[in-house]
A = this chain, B = another copy of it.
Amino acid sequence: MNMSKATTNPGPARGPVDHEVRDQIVVAATEHFRLYGYEKTTVSDLAKAIGFSKAYIYKFFESKQAIGELICANCLHEIETDVRAAVDGVDRPPEKLRRMFKTGVESCLRLFFEDRKLYDIAASAATERWEAVRAFEERIQAMLQDILRQGRETEEFERKTPLDETATAIYLVIRPYLNPLLLQHSFDSADDAPSQLSNLVLRSLSP
């Protein structure tokens, strides 16, 4: 009856715990992708660069995409953190909305385009609609709904239009500047767009 104990006990000599190794692989992979690009790198290249065996990496990630997804999720998490801090830094809902547009675009530009080589991860993520991207979009939409709800309570925003209709439409307006695949075709307008679009959106919200 003690067999189960023997198989589940990791024992004292097991070495670094799993999440530490995963982190180590992700850090090294991010650096490698940054230098050589995501598309061109194979798991063998990564293994060589990190000094692990390919088999050892496969113990922690089932594919290169699984590593890419984690890096992408980290990037999107940074954008979300930036946006949330900017939104929380002011009280009035109209100003929250302005900041959401402005910081979202700036943060997205910075993260994906300062590191041009990391861009193809973002491109794959957006093309194939990775889970991390879907989750990010949902959280941004939830943040947007919160701002709208607050603005309706303070009577700064109109209440006639159904909340989800308003939120969806506003998300469609900002989406081209938060999605890296779309953003790359909107560089010409990326400087002015946040203020022009948030002005338009705020006019549409006036009671």
Contact = CB atoms under 8 A, between A and B. Distances in A.
Interface of A: 126-127, 158, 161, 165-166, 168-170, 172-173, 175-176, 179, 181-182, 185-186, 189, 192-193, 196-197, 199-201, 203-205
Q: How many copies does the complex hold?
A: 2
A197 B179 contact: no
B185 A169 contact: no
Contacts of A182: 176, 182, 185-186
Contacts of A161: 199, 203
Given A172-B196, A176-B182, A182-B185, 16 more contacts: A126-B185, A158-B203, A165-B196, A166-B200, A170-B200, A172-B189, A172-B197, A173-B173, A175-B176, A176-B176, A182-B186, A200-B201, A200-B204, A203-B203, A203-B204, A203-B205
Contacts of A185: 126-127, 179, 181-182
A196 to B, nearest CB: 4
A166 B175 CA distance: 19
